[in-house]
């Protein structure tokens, strides 16, 4: 069945959601977009992410179209974004690349329904960990589009299959800005966007010039809008006899994704703590604290980061540089790393 995969692709996060999102302000420099927002339309430059909620009244002002994709699903897209997408699609066809829309808009109410459903089935803790908080998904805007590929007439819709077509994605990405789109979840920027690399998730901003500028700079939308610093994060995987480099890389992506929940925090470095941290006692404790999770492995990383003036996390000091802050992760046989303790 497609639905669980789809939910995973769209909304799954593997982190604990933060309760407080204090001081969330989008610094939007685009006066034209602001003007159009004032005139009763939506602001095409609006930032919606894990710390920036969908603006009030958005859903009332949104104008959408419904289409059927090649696998027969109904997809709802913001009107201008859809027109731009059609032009992009036609352009790609010239390069013999065929794309379709996997999903675009999801309402806040729909997200709430998914959250309620997960809460009922798996409990509030699991729901909070796995489902994006209603109001904080870019898909609410109708401007975020998930593409899928059609290769030799066959629909390629699963993330793990799609990700292999790197050359095709590179061609697609090169054309995005010409139609007012940007690639949203860049590789290595997980601590800013809160998501791992997604070559299929594109965002319409209704401004070709700005889209080109963002693409040429190679920055995230957050950085462009001044909502995140572009400081490089030092990553040190150290050496491990227990874990491969890929294992450690996956763990770092999880840590970075988790970090995106902390508005205004700046991540400086992430280091593997070393195998010496991993003891039978530690694993036992993790298993005892999380009886349902079936964890079989743990890992410890150390982080350097600075907090914002209002942390929103009671145990952390505001406006403070933390060094060697421990972050514990665990995983089970069937699932990837989860960040267990960090800040909250
Ligand atoms: Zn998406």
CA of 6 to the centre of ligand 1 (A): 10
CA of 141 to the centre of ligand 1 (A): 11
Tens-digit pLDDT profile for residues 101-159 = 999 999 999 999 999 998 998 888 778 777 889 999 999 999 999 999 999 999 999 99
CA of 144 to the centre of ligand 1 (A): 6
> What does the alpha-carbon distance between residue 147 and residue 135 come to, in Å, rounded to a whole number?
22
CA of 301 to the centre of ligand 1 (A): 29
- What per-residue string of b and e applies to 226-254 under the rule 16 or more CB within 10 Å gives b? ebbeeeebebebeebeebeeebbebbbbb
CA of 199 to the centre of ligand 1 (A): 9
Backbone angles phi, psi at 324, to 5 degrees: 50, 40
Is residue 254 within 8 A of residue 337, CB to CB? The reply is yes
∠ CA 40-56-205, nearest 5°, is 65
CA of 185 to the centre of ligand 1 (A): 9
Tens-digit pLDDT profile for residues 303-323 = 999 998 887 777 889 999 999
Backbone angles phi, psi at 174, to 5 degrees: -65, -30
CA of 139 to the centre of ligand 1 (A): 6
CA of 325 to the centre of ligand 1 (A): 31
207 Rama sector, left if φ>0, alpha if ψ -120 to 50, beta otherwise: beta
Q: Is the dihedral of CA 101, 107, 113, 115 positive or negative?
A: positive
> What does the alpha-carbon distance between residue 110 and residue 116 come to, in Å, rounded to a whole number?
10
CA of 10 to the centre of ligand 1 (A): 5
224 Cα distance to chain centroid: 16
* Nearest alpha carbon to residue 173 among 230, 97, 105, 226: 97
> What does the alpha-carbon distance between residue 126 and residue 115 come to, in Å, rounded to a whole number?
10
The domains of the chain are located at: 2-224, 234-341
Strands 266-272 and 234-236: parallel
CA of 81 to the centre of ligand 1 (A): 14
Is the CATH number of domain 2-224 3.30.1380.10? yes
CA of 147 to the centre of ligand 1 (A): 8
All residues at 6 or more sequence positions from 198 whose CB lies less than 8 Å from its CB, including other chains: 146, 159, 184, 185
Distances (CA, A) of 322 to 44, 280, 311: 36, 28, 13
CA of 18 to the centre of ligand 1 (A): 21
CA of 104 to the centre of ligand 1 (A): 7
- Structure tokens of 299? 């890992």
> What does the alpha-carbon distance between residue 72 and residue 101 come to, in Å, rounded to a whole number?
11
Is residue 103 within 8 A of residue 147, CB to CB? The reply is no
**pLDDT tens for the 344 residues of the chain, in order:** 334 444 443 444 333 333 222 222 333 444 444 555 555 689 999 999 999 999 999 999 999 999 999 999 999 999 999 999 999 999 999 999 999 999 999 999 999 999 999 899 888 877 877 788 999 999 999 999 999 999 999 999 999 999 999 999 999 999 999 999 999 999 999 999 999 899 999 999 999 999 999 999 999 999 999 998 888 899 999 999 999 999 999 999 999 998 888 888 899 999 999 999 888 999 999 999 988 888 999 999 999 999 988 877 778 899 999 999 999 999 998 888 999 887 54
* Nearest alpha carbon to residue 10 among 114, 116, 119, 155: 114
- Structure tokens of 14? 């593997």
Does residue 252 sit in helix, strand or coil? helix
CA of 13 to the centre of ligand 1 (A): 12
CA of 203 to the centre of ligand 1 (A): 9
Residue 15: CA count within 13 A, CB half-sphere: 29
Residue 237: CA count within 13 A, CB half-sphere: 14
């Amino acid at each position: 069945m497609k639905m669980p995969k789809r939910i995973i692709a769209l909304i799954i996060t593997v982190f604990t959601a933060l309760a407080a999102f204090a001081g969330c302000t989008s610094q939007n420099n685009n006066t034209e977009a602001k003007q159009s927002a004032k005139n009763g339309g939506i602001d095409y430059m609006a930032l919606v992410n894990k710390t920036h909620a969908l603006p009030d009244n958005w859903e009332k002002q949104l104008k959408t179209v419904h289409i059927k994709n090649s696998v027969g699903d109904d997809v709802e897209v913001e009107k201008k974004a859809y027109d731009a997408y059609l032009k992009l699609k036609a352009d790609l066809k010239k390069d013999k690349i065929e794309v379709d829309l996997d999903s675009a808009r999801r309402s806040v109410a729909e997200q709430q329904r998914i959250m309620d459903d997960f809460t009922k089935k798996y409990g509030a803790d699991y729901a909070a960990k796995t489902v994006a908080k209603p109001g904080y998904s870019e898909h609410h805007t109708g401007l975020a589009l998930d593409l899928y590929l059609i290769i030799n007439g066959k629909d390629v819709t699963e993330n793990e299959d799609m990700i292999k077509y790197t050359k095709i994605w590179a061609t697609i990405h090169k054309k995005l800005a010409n139609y007012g789109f940007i690639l949203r979840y860049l590789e290595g920027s997980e601590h800013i966007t809160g998501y791992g690399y997604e070559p299929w998730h594109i965002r319409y901003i209704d401004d070709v010039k700005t889209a080109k500028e963002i693409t040429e700079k190679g920055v995230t939308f957050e950085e462009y809008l001044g909502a995140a610093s572009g400081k490089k994060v030092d990553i040190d995987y150290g050496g491990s006899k227990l874990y491969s480099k890929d294992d450690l890389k996956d763990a770092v992506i999880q840590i970075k994704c988790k970090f995106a929940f902390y508005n205004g925090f700046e991540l400086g470095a992430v280091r593997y703590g070393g195998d010496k941290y991993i003891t039978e006692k530690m694993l036992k404790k993790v298993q005892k604290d999380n009886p349902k999770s079936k964890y079989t492995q743990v890992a410890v990383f150390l982080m350097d980061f600075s907090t914002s003036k209002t942390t929103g996390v009671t145990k952390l000091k505001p406006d403070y540089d933390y060094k060697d802050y421990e972050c514990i992760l665990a995983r089970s046989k069937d699932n990837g790393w989860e960040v267990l303790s960090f800040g909250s």
